[in-house]
Structure 1
Amino acid sequence: MVDTATCQVTGYLYPWDILGDPGAAGRIRATGVDRVALAAAYHSVRAATPRHPARRIVDAHSAALYVPPGTAFDGQPLAPAGAEPWTGTDNAFAAAASELRNAGIPVDAWTVLTHSSAAGGSNRDLCVLNAFGEVYSYALCPSQPAVRTYAATVVARILQVGRPDGLVLEAAGPLGFSHQNRHEKTEGAEYSPWVQALLSLCFCAACTAGYRERGLPAEEYRQRVRELVLAAQDPDAAPGDAAGAHGLLPLLEARWDAAAALLDRCVQAAADSGAEVRLSLHATPDPWSTGPFLPLDALRRSLLWPARGDAAAVVPCWGGSAQSGDLVRDMAGTGTRTGAYVLALPPKTHDAGGLAAEWRHLVDAGASELHVYHLGLASTRRLEAVREAVRMVRGRA
Structure 2
Amino acid sequence: MQSSVLAFATDLIDEGADRFFGNLTDRAGVGGLTLASVYHEARDIFPHHPNRVVRYLEPGAAYFRPDPARWDGARLRPVPSTAIGDGDPFADAAAEARRRGLKLHAWTVFLHNDRLGFQHPDCAPANAFGDRALTELCPAHPEVRGYVRTLVAEHARYGVDAIRAESLHFHGLRHGYHHERYFEQLGPVTEALLGLCFCGHCRAAADALGVPSDQVQQTVRAEIRCRLDSEDTAAEPTVLTDLADGALAAYVDASAATVGSLAAEAAAVAEQHGMRLTFMDPDGPGKGWLSGVDLPALAKSVHGIETLGYAPTPEQVREKVAAFALHGVDPSGLAVILRPMSQDCDGPENLAAKIRVLEQLGVPEVEFYNYGLMRLSSMDRIGAALAAL
TM over 0.5: yes
State the 1:330 CA deviation.
3.5
Find the counterpart in structure 1 of residue 305 from structure 2: 313
Find the counterpart in structure 2 of residue 338 from structure 1: 334
Q: Give deviations 1:311-368, integer Å, cap 9, x for gaps.
A: 2211232355365234343367447511222233464235333333344334434422
Show the 5 A alignment for 1:32-47. 32-47=29-44
Show the 5 A alignment for 1:106-255. 106-160=103-157, 162-186=158-182, 189-229=184-224, 230-231=226-227, 233-234=233-234, 248-255=248-255
Query: 1 CA distance for matches of 2:352 and 2:247?
Result: 42
- 2:372 partner SS: coil
State the 1:90 CA deviation.
4.5
State the 1:78 CA deviation.
1.1
Partners of 1:328 and 1:365 within 8 A in 2: no
Find the counterpart in structure 2 of residue 285 from structure 1: 285
Give, as a single letter, the amino acid of the residue that structure 1 aligns with 2:387: R
State the 1:285 CA deviation.
2.7
- 1:344 partner SS: coil
Q: Give deviations 1:275-321, integer Å, cap 9, x for gaps.
A: 32343221343353566x9431551674xx4xxxxx22112323553
Give, as a single letter, the amino acid of the residue that structure 2 aligns with 1:95: D
Which one of the candidate residues 69, 74, 77 is aligned to 1:76?
74
RMSD across aligned positions (CA): 3.0
Alpha-carbon spacing, 1:346–1:67, altered in 2? closer, same or farther (3 Å): same
State the 1:38 CA deviation.
0.7
Partners of 1:315 and 1:341 within 8 A in 2: yes
Q: Give deviations 1:112-142, integer Å, cap 9, x for gaps.
A: 2111111111111111112233211121111
Partners of 2:63 and 2:88 within 8 A in 1: yes
State the 1:62 CA deviation.
1.9
Q: Gaps (5+ residues) in structure 2? A: 238-242
Partners of 2:6 and 2:35 within 8 A in 1: yes
Q: Give deviations 1:172-209, integer Å, cap 9, x for gaps.
A: 222222332323434x6454444433222110110112
Find the counterpart in structure 2 of residue 57 from structure 1: 54
Give, as a single letter, the amino acid of the residue that structure 2 aligns with 1:378: M
Alpha-carbon spacing, 1:107–1:177, altered in 2? closer, same or farther (3 Å): same
Which segment is superposed worse, 48-57 or 13-22? 48-57
Alpha-carbon spacing, 1:261–1:390, altered in 2? closer, same or farther (3 Å): same
Query: 1 CA distance for matches of 2:328 and 2:387?
Result: 24
The structure with more helix, counted as a fraction of residues = 2
Partners of 1:173 and 1:290 within 8 A in 2: no
Partners of 1:260 and 1:299 within 8 A in 2: yes
Find the counterpart in structure 2 of residue 324 from structure 1: 320
Find the counterpart in structure 1 of residue 298 from structure 2: 299
Alpha-carbon spacing, 1:57–1:176, altered in 2? closer, same or farther (3 Å): same
Query: 1 CA distance for matches of 2:192 and 2:309?
Result: 20
- 1:53 partner SS: coil
Q: Gaps (5+ residues) in structure 1? A: 1-6, 238-242, 306-310
- 1:140 partner SS: coil
Alpha-carbon spacing, 1:90–1:264, altered in 2? closer, same or farther (3 Å): farther
Alpha-carbon spacing, 1:299–1:158, altered in 2? closer, same or farther (3 Å): same
Find the counterpart in structure 1 of residue 240 from structure 2: none
Give, as a single letter, the amino acid of the residue that structure 1 aligns with 2:80: G
Alpha-carbon spacing, 1:179–1:297, altered in 2? closer, same or farther (3 Å): farther
Give, as a single letter, the amino acid of the residue that structure 2 aligns with 1:16: T
Give, as a single letter, the amino acid of the residue that structure 2 aligns with 1:125: D
Query: 2 CA distance for matches of 1:270 and 1:116?
Result: 21
Q: TM-score, normalising length from structure 1? A: 0.82
Which segment is superposed worse, 54-63 or 33-42? 54-63
Query: 2 CA distance for matches of 1:325 and 1:269?
Result: 28
Find the counterpart in structure 2 of residue 270 from structure 1: 270
Partners of 2:76 and 2:143 within 8 A in 1: yes
Matched, 1:9 2:3: yes
Query: 2 CA distance for matches of 1:261 and 1:357?
Result: 37
Query: 1 CA distance for matches of 2:200 and 2:300?
Result: 22
Alpha-carbon spacing, 1:105–1:190, altered in 2? closer, same or farther (3 Å): farther
Query: 2 CA distance for matches of 1:371 and 1:193?
Result: 32
Identity of aligned residues (%): 25
How many pairs does the alignment contain? 368
- 2:178 partner SS: coil
Show the 5 A alignment for 1:348-387. 348-387=344-383
Give, as a single letter, the amino acid of the residue that structure 1 aligns with 2:102: I
